[in-house]
């Protein structure tokens, strides 16, 4: 097997700004210029995807940066075809860096005669030649078990903890972390523990799919600054309704920290008109112009943590060290003050 000398990055079209930001961060961390491998990812007139790599990648440690966000199928196929191109070009190892893992919501059979699409996607990635996956805040942690290859699942909560300590300096005593449903309690509890803040839950009851019939707040949120934490926001209907329920139950103000801003359909309009003071998302999915223009939506960068995680994978050091705020603070280069 050829010696692996340098980590090399290549990107599809799903989130080029993030890929370029990761490359810049890696250059800063190493003191050596790191750029994206020169390649083209194009489509024939009938929509077929074509990939051509213009640089020699034989024996190299390759990292494909490609979230499988909207359009999920196109971006997933780009990832698979890029992997095939690299494998046939004798790359030594191929790691898929998937900041947002599409199809993650289909992680179990919720009804009879339905697929487990997350497992299917895992099989496709492994079959294409992916040898390792790096992602962030999987919708369900057990998806790691769908793979027979190593999966490194980063967390946004340490970044959010740094951001909250900065944004709510002097107000941390009034903070209440809120899970928008019972399924997200573990994620919210982790952030609450990092901030030494109490935890509340919004329990929602559905009469049929897609419609929330009733919401109940578990915990006293009176005069509290509530921070809703979740892994993704899609149409934002449930999120905005949860914010309203918290205000009705006496909350002073409501903010939200969401890992992946899917923001489909009327999401931006709903958030803009909602009672939420702010919605904070990461750039794991490339934000649209309406998201950037929204007055109460803010974006925190993930490039620093992904760049360091890639370097740690490349040089064989710990990725789990990035779960701690003490490690992240210097990586974020003064953006947030150290504790």
Active site residues: 204
Query: CA nearest 302: which of 105, 98, 32?
Result: 98
Residue the block writes with tokens 């509890």: 189
| H or E, element range at 189 | helix 185-195
* Strand stretches in the chain, DSSP E: 7-11, 39-43, 49-53, 61-65, 93-98, 132-136, 151-154, 175-179, 199-208, 211-218, 225-233, 253-261, 278-282, 297-300
323, 155 in Cβ contact below 8 A? Answer: yes
User: What is the distance between the alpha carbons of residues 77 and 81, in angstroms, rounded to a whole number?
Assistant: 6
Query: CA nearest 215: which of 176, 243, 192?
Result: 243
Within 10 angstroms of residue 260's Cβ, the number of other Cβ atoms is: 26
Work out the angle at residue 96's Cα, subtended by the Cα atoms of residues 94 and 101, and round it to the nearest 5 degrees.
165
CA distance to 74, 97, 135, per residue, from 68 (Å)? 8, 10, 11
The residues, ordered by sequence, that sit 6+ positions from 215 with a Cβ below 8 Å of its Cβ are 202, 203, 204, 205, 241, 242, 245
61, 6 in Cβ contact below 8 A? Answer: yes
Question: In this structure, are strands 175-179 and 225-233 parallel, antiparallel, or unpaired?
Answer: parallel
Within 13 Å of residue 19, how many CA atoms lie on the same side as its CB? 21
């Amino acid at each position: 097997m050829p010696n692996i000398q340098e980590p090399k990055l290549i990107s599809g079209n799903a989130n080029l700004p993030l890929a370029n930001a990761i490359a810049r961060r890696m250059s800063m961390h190493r003191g050596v210029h790191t750029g994206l491998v020169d390649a083209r990812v194009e489509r024939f007139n009938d929509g077929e995807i074509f990939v051509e790599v213009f640089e020699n990648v034989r024996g190299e440690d390759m990292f494909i940066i490609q979230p499988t966000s909207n359009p999920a199928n196109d971006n997933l196929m780009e990832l698979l075809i890029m992997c095939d191109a690299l494998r046939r070009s004798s790359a030594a190892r191929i790691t898929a860096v998937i900041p947002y893992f599409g199809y993650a919501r289909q992680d179990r059979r919720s009804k009879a005669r339905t697929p487990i699409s997350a497992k299917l996607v895992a099989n496709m990635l492994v079959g294409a030649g992916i040898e390792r996956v790096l992602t962030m805040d999987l919708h369900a942690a057990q998806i790691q078990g769908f793979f027979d290859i190593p999966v490194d699942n980063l967390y946004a909560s340490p970044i959010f903890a740094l951001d909250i300590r900065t944004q709510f300096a002097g107000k941390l005593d009034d903070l209440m972390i809120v899970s928008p449903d019972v399924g997200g309690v573990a994620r919210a509890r982790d952030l609450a523990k990092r901030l030494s803040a109490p935890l509340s839950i919004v329990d929602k009851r559905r009469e049929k799919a897609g419609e929330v019939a009733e919401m109940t707040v578990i915990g006293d949120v009176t005069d509290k600054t509530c921070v809703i934490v979740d892994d993704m926001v899609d149409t934002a209907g449930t999120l905005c309704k949860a914010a309203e329920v918290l205000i009705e139950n006496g909350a002073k103000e409501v903010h939200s920290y969401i890992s992946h801003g899917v923001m489909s359909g009327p999401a931006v309009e709903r958030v803009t008109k909602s009672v939420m003071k702010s919605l904070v998302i990461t750039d794991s999915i490339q934000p649209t112009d309406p998201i950037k223009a929204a007055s109460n939506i803010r974006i925190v960068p993930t490039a620093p943590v992904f760049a360091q995680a890639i370097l740690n994978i490349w040089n064989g050091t710990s990725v789990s060290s990035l779960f701690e705020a003490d490690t992240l603070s210097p990586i974020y280069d003064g953006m947030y003050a150290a504790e």
